[in-house]
Structure 1
Amino acid sequence: MTDIPDELIRLERTAEEERARLAGLTGDAYEEQRRRFCTASDAVRAAITAHAEATGADPREVEQAVRQAVRQTQEDPAVE
């Protein structure tokens, strides 16, 4: 799989950034950020599923390609 739409990459980056923001949080702040992360993750999954259905691709392969594309273009946001 080589053709990954920029929108999928953007959504995955956003989800990873929201995940990274969980570090060090506790209590209500953690729960609020966790909801943001879950919302962003749900958006990625929905977009991947829609793309896979539209192109006839395997959703797992699309997901793997999106994650690989994001990893190739940036370091882990949890480290920043």
Structure 2
Amino acid sequence: MADIDFPDDLIALERSAWTEIQEGRLTVPTALAVHSAVTAFATESKLPRMDVELGLKRVVRHPQPEADAA
């Protein structure tokens, strides 16, 4: 799966959902908002929705450390 350039608003939505999940309070409106945004982004980008969803989760839940500037 190639790296996907996610828009900031989509990352923010997923971060909100991830925070709610970790706190045990994920709401249906939050889950639906993320699902709808992922689906819309996948459609616009002509990418498989599952690739978008998994890539977004990876970016939010397992961020890569930034390379040190030499």
| TM-score after normalising by structure 1 | 0.67
In structure 2, the residue matched to 1:53 is 43
Deviation at 1:42, TM superposition (A): 0.7
The correspondence of residues 22-37 of structure 1 with structure 2, limited to 5 A, is 22=24, 33=25, 37=27
Superposition CA RMSD, Å: 1.8
Q: Of the two, which has the highest radius of gyration?
A: 1
Question: Structure 2 length normalisation: TM-score?
Answer: 0.75
Q: Number of residue pairs matched?
A: 62
Identity between Structure 1 and Structure 2 (%): 33
Structure 2 residue runs without a partner (length 5+): 64-70
Runs of 4+ in 1 over 3 A off after TM superposition: none
Unpaired stretches in structure 1, ≥5 consecutive residues: 23-32, 74-80
The structure with the greater share of residues assigned to helix is 1
